[in-house]
Amino acid sequence: MSDTKYLLDESRIPKSWYNIAADLPKPLAPPLHPGTGQPLGPDDLAPLFPMALILQEVSAEREIEIPEPVREVYRLWRPAPLFRARRLERALDTPAHIYYKYEGVSPAGSHKPNTAVAQAFYNREEGVKKLSTETGAGQWGSSLAFAGSLFGIEVLVYMVKVSYHQKPYRRTLMETYGATCLASPTDTTQAGRAILEQDPDNPGSLGIAISEAVEVAATRDDTKYSLGSVLNHVLLHQTVIGQEAMQQMDMAGEYPDVVIGCAGGGSNFAGLAFPFIGAALRGDRPKVRAVAVEPAACPTMTKGVYAYDFGDTRQLTPLLKMHTLGHTFMPPGVHAGGLRYHAMAPLVSHLVELGEITPIAVHQNPSFEAGVQFARAEGIVPAPESTHAVRAAIDEALDAKEKGEKRVILFNLSGHGFLDLAAYEEYLAGKLRDFAYEEEKVKEALQHLPRVG
């Protein structure tokens, strides 16, 4: 039998992050100031981010060097392995070849430390002592807590309340790394108090948690804000995934026809897909079909509008042009908490509009069905978010079987689900329900889109 695992040595960790902005056929719409509606300048973002990250956010350079202290931390788990899912292929009786890049080998169990370590490093270099952030399922919060512990930075995490209660061990992991974790909305911020005054039982959302974290950073001189997805510099840091995967696919002697990732804010999907999309845009490699998989209960790309909107509920963030369901939309409490975001990263949204990315939406029951099938074939229990990518990969393989096609499929297994077993318990007991797309709530939320231009 041929190889099932493709490993790179530490010398093959990318030395630069890849910036797809350099290869876009049409430039990205600029972020706008929430007060003036004018394009943002670096100074406008200075209260929230260190200048190094601001410059990365607006950069059009194709390669941005990864600092050696960041690569040193990356060596704890990178390069991450690439696997050929041969047992899954046999179970599906498909002619397709299925590969997956496994990011669950990081200390926090997901892809999120790829940017958390970089952000903590740049903040430390600027003398920042504290970071505030939000988290959905807790993968990002635990990753920033881990990075903060390495670079001596205090971390305050606002965790979406429904996930805070669904996933208590994520909170424990954050606290083990030294972070403080609060169930959002809280009574510690004006944003949280305003939400609770309207709805004392509010289950929380990423938009609300972002409002709380941004408010803390904007009102305290000693604190900066850190975001786990959506923004350009976050997606940039994740491209180590795709760059490694390209090397590993070369080792396997194949090249993907389709590249798949789950998508909530867009970071793990972009991390895998952007290097492949960029190589095709430059004419260096064949074009791939890039598939971004979102939850059907929160379908920003497949049902939302492409417009300027706020990244948070209380309208504290810059205006970004992206696919959105409206910043006041409250997503249902699906277990894939990391995908419960009302909007999509501007870069991902832009590439969807250009036809370079194909978005699809799937419900959580068929996603967990795929996750269980994958676990029984390959041994790894995927995070609820990652099961969406597994579902799409299995469907691709079955489609290839039906059409009698050999097809090379690559997906990002962005994290393990060992701290999400309560969700699997519900699924296996037949208690997990699929939430319908709440069209009326979205229509209402879209009435609150800001008027731009």
| pLDDT value at residue 384 | 94
Give backbone dihedrals phi and psi of 358, rounded to 5 degrees, phi first. Answer: -105, 115
- pLDDT at res. 445: 86
* pLDDT of residue 247 exceeding 80: yes
pLDDT tens column, 28-82: 999 999 888 899 988 899 989 999 999 999 999 999 999 999 999 999 999 999 9
| CA distances (Å), origin 453, targets 37, 38, 59, 308 | 8, 9, 24, 10
| C-beta separation of 311 from 327 below 8 A | yes
Give residue 52's pLDDT.
97
Closest of 378, 398, 376, 407 to residue 86, by C-alpha: 378
CA distances to 297, 344, 361 from 294, in Å? 9, 10, 5
Q: How confident is the model at residue 166 (pLDDT cuts 50, 70, 90)?
A: confident
Position 394 pLDDT exceeds 80: yes
pLDDT (0 to 100) of residue 382 = 97
pLDDT digits (tens, 9 = 90+) for 376-390: 999 999 999 999 999
CB crowding 232-263: b at 16 or more within 10 Å, else e: bbbbbbbbbbbbbbbebbeebeeebbbbbbbb
Higher pLDDT, 251 or 451: 251
pLDDT classification of 126: cutoffs 50, 70, 90: very high
Structure tokens at 230: 């959506």
Q: Cβ atoms within 10 A of the Cβ of 44, count?
A: 18
More confident residue, 373 or 440: 373
* Average confidence (pLDDT) over 164-188: 94
Question: For residue range 132-157, what is the model confidence (pLDDT) as tens digits?
Answer: 999 988 899 999 999 999 999 999 99
Does 336 have pLDDT greater than 60? no
Predicted pLDDT of residue 317:
85
Crossing angle of helices 267-282 and 240-252, in 10° steps, is 60
Q: Say what percent of the chain tops pLDDT 70.
A: 98
For 402-451, write each residue's pLDDT tens digit. Answer: 999 999 999 999 999 999 999 999 999 999 999 877 788 888 888 889 88
Mean pLDDT for the chain overall: 94
pLDDT above 90 for 328:
no
**Predicted structure pTM score:** 0.95
DSSP run (H or E) holding 18 = strand 16-18
Residue 300 has pLDDT above 60, yes or no: yes
Note the CATH architecture for domain 5-10+68-109+233-446: 3-Layer(aba) Sandwich (3.40)
Which one, of 38, 88, 95, 28, lies nearest residue 59 by Cα? 28
In angstroms, what CA-CA distances link 123 with 120, 126, 192? 5, 5, 26
For residue 320, what are the β-bridge partners? 309
- Nearest CA-CA partner of 260 in 367, 337, 354, 170: 367
Is the model's pLDDT at 335 over the cut of 70?
Answer: no
Q: What is the pLDDT of residue 338?
A: 66
Quick check: 385 and 264 in contact, CB under 8 A? yes
pLDDT value for 206:
84
pLDDT of residue 1: 46
